[in-house]
Amino acid sequence: MKDYKYLRILDIDDLFILASLLDNTQPLHHIAKILRITPPALSHRIKRYREHIPNFDFSTTSSAVKSLSPETKAFCTKAKKALDVLGLYDEEKAA
């Protein structure tokens, strides 16, 4: 069985952030605005993901998400599915 201790650091806001990263065209400051957090707060959370979540990595250009590693994309997809199950993810608001 895999070690999923890193899941304990996540809260509902993290699920929204991770789901938002799936849209590779969204700038990080836009994601922060939608989630009503500051860009530095978003950067801090992403840094925390990189420290605690195995193989979490993505590249950015001009603050926009450029590409997600396959492992990161899979993890973000699971976060979006969790929000879907909870009935909390709205495609229109995330765009």
CATH of the domain at 20: 1.10.10.10
Predicted TM-score (pTM) of the model is 0.77
Structure tokens at 25: 């065209």
For residue 92, the model assigns a pLDDT of 47
Does some domain include residue 93? no
Total domains present in the chain: 1
Backbone angles phi, psi at 4, to 5 degrees: -110, 30
Asked if the structure places residue 94 within a domain, the reply is no
> Residues of 1-30 as b/e, b for ≥16 C-beta within 10 angstroms?
eeeeeeeeebeeebbbbbbbbbeeebebeb
The token pair that represents 90 in the structure block: 């709205």
pLDDT at 51: 84
User: Is 92 a domain residue?
Assistant: no
Mean pLDDT, the chain, whole residue set: 80
Report whether pLDDT(95) > 70. no
- Domain range spanning residue 72? 5-86
Q: Is the residue at 34 inside a domain?
A: yes
Q: Report if residue 59 sits inside a domain.
A: yes
Q: Average the pLDDT over each of 7-11, 28-32, 67-71 and give the range with the smallest value.
A: 7-11
- Check pLDDT > 90 for residue 38: yes
